[in-house]
Amino acid sequence: MLVTKLKLKLGGAEAVVELAERDAPKTSKLLLSLLPVEERARHAMESGREVYIVLGESVDIPEENQTIYQTVGDVLMYYKPSLFIEPGWPEYANEKPVLSWVYERDTAIMGTYSPLATNVVGKIAGGLNKLQAEAPRMRREGFGMMKLSRL
Amino acid sequence: MKRTARRILLDLDGTRATATLYDEFAPKTCEAAWDILPVTGRAIHANWSGREIMLHLEGEKILRLPQEMKVRSNFVTEGDITYFYRASQMSRGKQLAYSAQFQRELSEFAIFYGSPAGEGLSAYDPARTPYKEGVHVLNKFATIDRPIPEEFRLKCETLRHEGLKPLTVSRY
């Protein structure tokens, strides 16, 4: 099976993502339908070394290829509690769909009170070291845009 | 809990809040913290424990204090200010966002400015429990005076997106 490759860009760093179409076909199809996607990147404040973007409210992520044991380089799609995204808890939506990736160990995606199962939709196959430098730099100097597109 | 009137001032990039020390609850930590004030540095936002900003203590301001209280789950809440210490051998992988000092040894003031406070991965982190002297120390020593100024909360939140900002903790 030919692996679909995507380009992940965070600020000045570029990486290659291999889509997990065999293990997560529905989520992969959904992600491809959203591309290219570009939003302001955010850093997790509850889960460790995770960078993410918030997707549109209408994005409907199926439960597929899930784990609570995320590892370095995983590309994830799931619903993140709004409380971790913006202050307060918006009444109209207590969770929002996100696209994220894990760039270091000591990371576990958290729900409000426990680890959260997330869809693994891809793996960073090249350029991880660049993201591992750019994400901490942005933590210090401010976050820019993140873009995911077809390679 | 009876509190004394000793208070501190937090000035985050020009936005201020005051806090009252827990002198009776954590007398050693309060005294040690008071003694090194004022402390100035660049605060960074937490990524394991919710709405928290941290001021890393460096050089002659580094504190190595004993554990002064029993730490239970739900130990911190909105407004709490804690002293946290972690020995170098307990470093948690590469910490490129922080200073070189942080790579060796972590001594910090942690300011929980909003909710969730301490509710993230750190609350379920076996590497941080149990708290042992010289390895991990966590002492709650002050609380931000109520109501917590909204402007201060919002300024803390901006660190997540805009990066480090200057923070001075001084006697008030």
Distance of CA A5 to the CA centre of its chain: 16
Confidence band of A72 (pLDDT split at 50, 70, 90):
very high
Q: Is residue A151 part of a domain?
A: no
Tokens matching residue B71: 């730490």
- Predicted pLDDT at B26: 95
- Predicted pLDDT at A67: 97
Tokens matching residue B8: 């501190």
- Predicted pLDDT at B21: 97
Q: Are the beta carbons of B96 and A138 separated by less than 8 Å? A: no
A30-53 core/surface letters (b: 16 or more CB in 10 A; e: else)? bbeeeeeeebebbbbbbbbbbbbb
Which residues in A lie closer than 8 A to residue B96 (C-beta atoms)? 132-133, 136-137
Which residues in B lie closer than 8 A to residue A135 (C-beta atoms)? 97
Residue B155 is inside which H or E element, if any?
helix B150-162
- Proportion of chain A above pLDDT 90, given as a percent: 87
Burial tier of A88 (Cβ tally within 10 Å: 0-12, 13-18, 19+): exposed
- Predicted pLDDT at B108: 95
In a 13 Å sphere around the CA of B48, the CA atoms on its Cβ side amount to: 17
- Proportion of chain B above pLDDT 70, given as a percent: 84
Interface probe with A: pick from B42, B121, B125, B148, most Cβ of A within 10 Å: B121
Q: How far is A47 from chain B (nearest CA, A)?
A: 5
- Predicted pLDDT at B106: 86
The pTM for the full model equals 0.93
pLDDT top residue among B23 and B124: B23
Confidence band of B72 (pLDDT split at 50, 70, 90):
confident
Q: Is residue A93 part of a domain?
A: yes
pLDDT in tens, A76-113: 999 999 989 988 766 566 899 999 999 998 899 999 88
Apex CA B137: angle with CA B131 and CA B143, to 5°?
A: 115
Q: What's the ipTM?
A: 0.92
B151 touches chain A (CB under 8 A): no
Q: Is residue A20 part of a domain?
A: yes
Q: How far is CA A22 from CA A74, A122, B44, B71, B77, in A?
A: 15, 10, 40, 46, 44
CATH number where A96 lies: 2.40.100.20
**Per-residue pLDDT averaged across B2-20, rounded?**
90
List the 71-110 stretch of A: residues with Cβ below 8 A of B.
Answer: 83-84, 87, 104-108, 110
Confidence band of B128 (pLDDT split at 50, 70, 90):
low
Q: How far is B4 from chain A (nearest CA, A)?
A: 32
The residue written with tokens 């008030």 in the block is: B172
- Predicted pLDDT at B102: 61
DSSP string, A55-115: PPTT--PPP-SEES---TTEEEEEEEEGGGTSSS--TT-SEEEEEEEE-SSS---B-SSSB
Q: How far is B133 from chain A (nearest CA, A)?
A: 22
What is the average pLDDT score of chain B?
88
Q: Are the beta carbons of A136 and B96 separated by less than 8 Å? A: yes
Q: Is residue A33 part of a domain?
A: yes
What is the average pLDDT score of chain A?
94
Range of the domain at A106: 5-146
Apex CA B43: angle with CA B39 and CA B47, to 5°?
A: 140
Q: Are the beta carbons of A47 and B47 separated by less than 8 Å? A: yes
pLDDT in tens, A13-43: 999 999 999 999 999 999 999 999 999 999 9
Q: Are the beta carbons of A110 and B120 separated by less than 8 Å? A: yes
DSSP string, A107-150: ---B-SSSB--EEEEEEEEE-HHHHHHHHHHHHHH---EEEEEE
Domain count, chain A: 1
Q: Does residue B130 carry a pLDDT above 70?
A: no
CA distance A120 to A36: 19
Q: Is residue A121 part of a domain?
A: yes
Contacts A–B by Cβ distance under 8 A: 92
Q: Are the beta carbons of A106 and B93 separated by less than 8 Å? A: yes
**Per-residue pLDDT averaged across B129-151, rounded?**
87
What domains does chain B contain, in order, with CATH numbers? 7-171 (2.40.100.20)
Q: Is residue A31 part of a domain?
A: yes
- Predicted pLDDT at B126: 56
